[in-house]
């Protein structure tokens, strides 16, 4: 009896002191995925693997799923090709928990897939309004209790959603140093945009307790126009993710489903990917992949379009840069003038300075050492060369080669060293400094 009591006391102390880690979802690879995944066939999964996607969906409408056994078969196919998958199913709804019969079906569903090596998590909903957060939070907690190691996935609205869509009410003013947009493609937005969106994020974090922030933002508009809030949205999501200690994923444009959107080209898609990475994003999702001709996506009625090739080429670069970024933690993001809305100027004490041109600088730390940075060409139409002044003290500068998939020593540096970084339109380059 004394031995049993002692074991219980030791176990309790380990839990209290953090000796036994709480089981939960943890990101293990940079996420490259899509909205509207293809049916989970051998051919489609092989193409996704070839095109460097890491995550898909099973049980979608295109799969015509009728039961858990089909889900397992689809997960088997994904596993064969090295792809993880989110499960889609009508039972993944808060109302299921209020119906004993459906709740039992949900339990059976989770039990049938939770030990499958290809399972990444459960797709719950898209762009919920804040009043529904308690319901989704209840479902998220239920899934975490039954399967803590897999992700309950919810995607959020962008900043240009209005107050009614966000579902927020403010009882006190929230201040922010970020700039406010005056308009978005003709849709009015006032100086409450940041306050409303931050409140939406605060409630989501507090009520739902997510393990990742995911949001969508569509920037490229007809007649060569661009939205005004892209960097504002990136900054607000990044800030919230850092405070919460969770990663974020950006869903970006790869279709013409909305009449106001233009068909993006390869340089614009690369710009979307590298701006996300410079801001510390840990995942990218192309909207959309599989759909009818009217959606204008990567595949239309099963036919591959040029957008799919553009995405695959960018995914290839992310596949080699992503593992390096997962070792790093975003610390700061600066931009050159003229500053887009939501951007931050280079401070006097920045260890990397860029004084001219259209560039973004993402600063990172590795093991608490602020020694890495990514420079991105903010111009998605033209090549440009960034002139960087480094102030890390004496050390060695390394550049990451995407073609060789390794770090290469570039040169010795000291305070005041300048380097020239040529960049293609919308492209970026990753560096680090060692002593």
From first to last of its 435 residues, the chain has per-residue pLDDT tens of: 444 444 444 444 444 444 445 689 999 999 999 999 999 999 999 999 999 999 999 998 766 545 667 999 999 999 999 999 999 999 999 999 999 999 999 999 999 999 999 999 999 999 999 999 999 999 999 999 999 999 999 999 999 998 889 999 866 555 555 555 554 443 455 568 888 999 999 999 999 999 999 999 999 999 999 998 999 999 999 999 999 999 999 999 999 999 999 999 999 999 999 999 999 999 999 999 999 999 999 999 999 999 999 999 999 999 999 999 999 999 999 999 999 988 999 999 999 999 999 999 999 999 888 999 999 999 999 999 999 999 999 999 999 999 999 999 999 999 999 999 999 999 999 999 999
Q: What is the pLDDT of residue 206?
A: 98
- Other C-beta atoms closer than 10 Å to the C-beta of 250 total 25
How far apart are the C-alpha atoms of 91 and 95, rounded to whole Å?
Answer: 8
Would strands 359-366 and 329-335 be described as parallel, antiparallel, or unpaired? antiparallel
Q: Which of 303, 325, 347 is the last residue of a domain?
A: 325
Q: How many domains does the chain have?
A: 2
DSSP 189: -
Give the contacts of 404 (CB within 8 A, at least 6 positions apart).
Answer: none
Q: Are residues 64 and 94 in the same domain?
A: yes
Q: Which two tokens stand for residue 269?
A: 């898609």
**Strand order from edge to edge, sheet including 384-390:** 352-353, 384-390, 417-423
Q: What is the pLDDT of residue 178?
A: 55
DSSP 221: B
C-alpha dist (Å) from residue 81 to 85, 199, 377? 11, 41, 34
Peptide bond into 146 cis (omega under 30): no
Q: Residue 18 domain-assigned? A: no
> Which of these, 29, 31, 21, lies nearest to 213 by C-alpha position?
31
Q: Residue 8 domain-assigned? A: no
Q: Residue 168 domain-assigned? A: yes
Q: What is the pLDDT of residue 68?
A: 63
| Strand, coil or helix: 124 | strand
According to DSSP, the residues that pair with 184 across neighbouring strands are: 187
Q: Residue 15 domain-assigned? A: no
Q: Residue 401 domain-assigned? A: yes
Q: What CATH number did the domain enclosing 380 receive?
A: 2.60.40.1180
Are 245 and 329 in contact by the 8 Å Cβ rule? The answer is no
Q: Are residues 187 and 226 in the same domain?
A: yes
Q: What CATH number did the domain enclosing 238 receive?
A: 3.20.20.80
How far apart are the C-alpha atoms of 317 and 326, rounded to whole Å?
Answer: 14
Q: Are residues 269 and 333 in the same domain?
A: no
Q: Residue 53 domain-assigned? A: yes
Which phi and psi (to 5°) does residue 364 adopt? -135, 160
Q: Which of 282, 305, 325 is the last residue of a domain?
A: 325
Give the structural domain span for 241.
23-325
Q: Which of 285, 305, 325 is the last residue of a domain?
A: 325
* Count helices and strands in the chain by DSSP H and E runs: 10, 22
DSSP 375: E
Q: Are residues 321 and 337 in the same domain?
A: no
> Which of these, 378, 383, 384, lies nearest to 359 by C-alpha position?
378
Sign of CA dihedral 310, 311, 314, 316: negative
| Strand, coil or helix: 132 | helix
Q: Which two tokens stand for residue 204?
A: 């989501």
How far apart are the C-alpha atoms of 121 and 89, rounded to whole Å?
Answer: 12
Q: Are residues 318 and 339 in the same domain?
A: no
Which phi and psi (to 5°) does residue 49 adopt? -65, -45
Q: Residue 49 domain-assigned? A: yes
């Amino acid at each position: 009896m004394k031995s049993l009591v002692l074991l219980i006391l030791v176990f309790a102390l380990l839990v209290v002191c953090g000796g036994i880690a709480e089981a939960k979802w943890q990101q293990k690879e940079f996420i490259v995925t899509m909205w509207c995944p293809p049916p989970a066939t051998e051919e489609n999964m092989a193409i996704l693997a070839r095109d460097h996607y890491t995550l898909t969906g099973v049980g979608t409408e295109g799969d015509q799923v009728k039961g858990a056994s089909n889900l397992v078969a689809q997960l088997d196919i994904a596993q064969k090709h090295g792809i993880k998958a989110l499960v889609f199913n009508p039972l993944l709804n808060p109302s299921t928990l209020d119906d004993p019969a459906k709740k039992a079906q949900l339990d059976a569903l989770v039990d049938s897939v939770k030990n499958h090596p290809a399972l990444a998590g459960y797709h719950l909903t898209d762009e919920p309004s804040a009043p529904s957060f308690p319901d989704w939070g209840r479902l998220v907690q239920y899934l975490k209790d039954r399967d803590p190691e897999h992700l309950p996935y919810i995607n959020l609205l962008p900043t240009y959603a209005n107050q009614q869509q966000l579902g927020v009410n403010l009882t006190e003013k929230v201040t922010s140093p970020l700039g406010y947009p005056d308009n978005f493609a003709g849709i009015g937005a006032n100086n409450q945009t940041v306050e409303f969106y931050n409140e939406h994020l605060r409630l989501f974090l507090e009520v739902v307790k997510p393990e990742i922030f995911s949001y969508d933002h569509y920037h490229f508009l007809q007649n060569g126009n661009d939205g005004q809030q892209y960097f504002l949205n990136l900054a607000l999501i990044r800030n919230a993710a850092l405070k919460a200690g969770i990663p974020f994923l950006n869903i970006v444009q790869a279709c013409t489903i909305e009449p106001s959107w233009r068909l993006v080209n390869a340089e614009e898609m690369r710009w979307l990917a590298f701006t996300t990475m410079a801001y510390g994003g840990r995942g990218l999702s192309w909207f959309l992949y599989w759909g009818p001709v009217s959606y204008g996506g990567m595949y239309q009625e099963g036919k591959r379009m040029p957008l799919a090739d553009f995405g695959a080429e960018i995914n290839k670069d992310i596949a080699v840069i992503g593992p390096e970024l997962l070792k790093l933690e975003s610390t700061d993001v600066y931009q050159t003038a003229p500053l887009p809305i939501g951007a931050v100027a280079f401070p006097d004490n920045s260890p990397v300075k860029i004084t001219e041109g259209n560039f973004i600088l993402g600063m990172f730390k590795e093991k608490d050492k602020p020694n890495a940075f990514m420079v991105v060409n903010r111009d998605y139409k033209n090549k440009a060369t960034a002139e960087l002044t480094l102030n890390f003290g004496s050390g060695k500068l390394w550049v990451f080669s995407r073609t060789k998939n390794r770090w290469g020593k570039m040169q010795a540096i000291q305070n005041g060293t300048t380097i020239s970084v040529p960049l293609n339109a919308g492209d970026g380059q990753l560096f680090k400094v060692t002593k």
